[in-house]
Structure 1
Amino acid sequence: MEEYFSQSKLDEYLPLITDVATNVLLAIVILLVGMFIARKVNNLVCNIGKRYDKLDDTLFRFLGSLARYVVLAFVFIAVLNRFGVQTASIVALLGAAGLAVGLALQGALSNLAAGVMLLIFRPYKVGDFIDAAGRFGNVVEIDLFTTILDTFDRQQIIIPNSQIWGSQIVNHSHHPIRGVDMHFGVAYKENTDDARRVIDAVLEAHPHILKDPAPFVEVETLNNSSVDFLVRPFVKGEHYFDVLYSVPEQIKKALDAANIEIPFPHTKVILSKED
């Protein structure tokens, strides 16, 4: 009789044990396959960034990690589903948690979104001189949340990407050859052809100013007290600031040597004697 009851209980629990064992094995298989797929997806996305020089590795490493965790989240839900857990409530809970985190970190997420756009469209790269968000400097690092600039006076400026993406960006290093705009005024009594020859001689002698395209030197404005020249020599990008900060002094000295007056604003007072 006792042996009968033991066999009866074994027959009763055998389907349950078999079902549990099957679910455990399937869960393990799902977990292993899911982890394999997640790793492959991560590597696939990362390799896209490595394959093309114009694509940024930082962005694709982030996207690869994001894709990996999304796959793992679905794998986790599938594993729980194998054990009869109601996953609808878990999905709703994860959605609510994601919404709460998104609201709490909306500033960081806006920087992240801007960083993704900057890394995709690449309006500038490391090593460029840019003017953005009211700051000017050399780009030393671009990540998903910030852009780091070094200024000429050796300051490090960390700018949130959302401030850069939402404003005008001037990339001074985009073109290999640049024009350097400068303005010089001479007195009305001076001969403009003589002044132009003096300026041309300074530009001709400068080692960083290109002959082709030729410098542009023409009268731009007739001001109240001066005839103003627009002077635009062309240089390679790396010599832009050398020319910008050296040529004005050289032209001033050359005009002085040629006795060409550089006027300054003044007021003439005429006194009349009353009868």
Structure 2
Amino acid sequence: MEQFLTDNQALVDQVIRIVTQGGVNVLLALAILVVGYMVAGGIKKAVLRAVERNPRIDRTLANFFASMVRYAILVVVFIAVLSRFGVETTSLVAAIGAAAFAVGLALQGTLGNVAAGVMLVFFRPYSLGDFVEVGGVSGTVADINLFTTELNTPDNKTIIVPNGQAWGNVITNYSVKPTRRVDITFGISYDDDINKAMEVIRAHYDADERVLKDPEFFLGVIAHNTSSIDIVTRAWVKTPDYWSVYFDAMKGIKEAFDANGIEIPYPHQVEVRKKA
């Protein structure tokens, strides 16, 4: 009887010890979860504030970085909680790593676009509202996110360019500089007076108030072509005035040539016949 009581007491002590240890583990796990959740949220806010202080980093990119930091901390917290209950976390970490590797291989194209989106948002080769040529297409930048760049064309079409294609190709930004140079070449006949033609061209540009005085307007003969003398013009204008100055010059100088008897020659060939 005494042995039976001794055995029962030992069993009760063991149950109490197991329950007590289990309760401690549950409490510690809950504490780790609560503290870890709070720390993850606090660090996310701190990263968000730190990144947002840099004007070159977009709000989308700031949220992305902050969320990645938060999720990384929560994964560590989850592993720490499992270890409190005796779960072998080494194999779990290996499994998570293998799963992440497999997902990375399956989504390498998408992840490449995300990486390119991060580079685009950070280095800012173009911004919203810029007119650019990117990935072989041109348009006004309407949106930049982590996956794609959205362009609106002048004829009101929307073009979606994957960021990997944008970052991996030559980017031409027509809006980033405050001024641009309008280059136009005009051809005149070999029979026309070059100096007179240049005076007519210069008079047109001098009368256009949109043409800047600095840098100075340039005018010169650039080539003796097969059927024309080519005169090049280089006028500096404010970037928004580029196309209006271009179109007005093409029209105005043709009319001025006509008024002054200056010919814009058609391509032609001269046939030479030898006497037999």
- Residue correspondence of structure 1 range 166-185 to structure 2 within 5 A: 166-185=168-187
Equivalent in the alignment of 2:102: 100
- Determine the C-alpha separation between the residues in 2 that align with 1:246 and 1:40: 59
1:5 Cα shift? 6.8
Per-residue Cα deviation, 1:99-132 (whole angstroms, up to 9, x for no partner): 1111111111111111111111111111111111
Equivalent in the alignment of 1:26: 28
2:159 maps to amino acid: I
3-state SS, counterpart of residue 30 of structure 2 = helix
- Residue correspondence of structure 1 range 180-259 to structure 2 within 5 A: 180-259=182-261
1:199 maps to amino acid: I
- Residue correspondence of structure 1 range 135-154 to structure 2 within 5 A: 135-154=137-156
1:67 Cα shift? 0.9
Equivalent in the alignment of 2:55: 53
- Determine the C-alpha separation between the residues in 2 that align with 1:32 and 1:156: 46
1:70 corresponds, among 49, 69, 72, to 72
3-state SS, counterpart of residue 163 of structure 1 = helix
Q: What TM-score do the two structures reach when normalised by structure 1?
A: 0.94
> Does structure 1 conserve the Cα–Cα contact (< 8 Å) formed by 2:56 and 2:122?
no
- Determine the C-alpha separation between the residues in 2 that align with 1:206 and 1:76: 70
Over 3 Å counting, the alpha-carbon distance change for 1:254 and 1:48 in structure 2 is farther
1:272 Cα shift? 4.3
1:208 Cα shift? 2.2
1:38 Cα shift? 1.0
User: More deviation in 210-219 or 84-93?
Assistant: 210-219
1:230 Cα shift? 1.6
How many residue pairs match? The answer is 274
- Determine the C-alpha separation between the residues in 2 that align with 1:219 and 1:49: 54
1:87 maps to amino acid: T
Equivalent in the alignment of 1:132: 134
Q: CA RMSD, aligned part only?
A: 1.7
2:181 maps to amino acid: G
Over 3 Å counting, the alpha-carbon distance change for 1:74 and 1:130 in structure 2 is same
Equivalent in the alignment of 2:87: 85
Structure 2 unaligned segments of length 5 or more: list them: none
- Residue correspondence of structure 1 range 112-131 to structure 2 within 5 A: 112-131=114-133
- Determine the C-alpha separation between the residues in 2 that align with 1:160 and 1:245: 33
- Determine the C-alpha separation between the residues in 2 that align with 1:270 and 1:220: 28
Q: What TM-score do the two structures reach when normalised by structure 2?
A: 0.94
> Does structure 1 conserve the Cα–Cα contact (< 8 Å) formed by 2:211 and 2:237?
yes
3-state SS, counterpart of residue 151 of structure 2 = strand
**Percent of pairs with identical residues:** 45
1:79 Cα shift? 0.5
1:206 Cα shift? 2.1
Structure 1 unaligned segments of length 5 or more: list them: none
1:202 Cα shift? 1.2
1:256 maps to amino acid: D
- Determine the C-alpha separation between the residues in 1 that align with 2:34 and 2:13: 32
1:246 Cα shift? 2.6
1:15 corresponds, among 14, 17, 29, to 17
1:186 maps to amino acid: I
- Determine the C-alpha separation between the residues in 2 that align with 1:207 and 1:140: 31
Equivalent in the alignment of 2:161: 159
1:236 maps to amino acid: K
Asked if 1:38 is matched to 2:40, the reply is yes
3-state SS, counterpart of residue 245 of structure 2 = helix
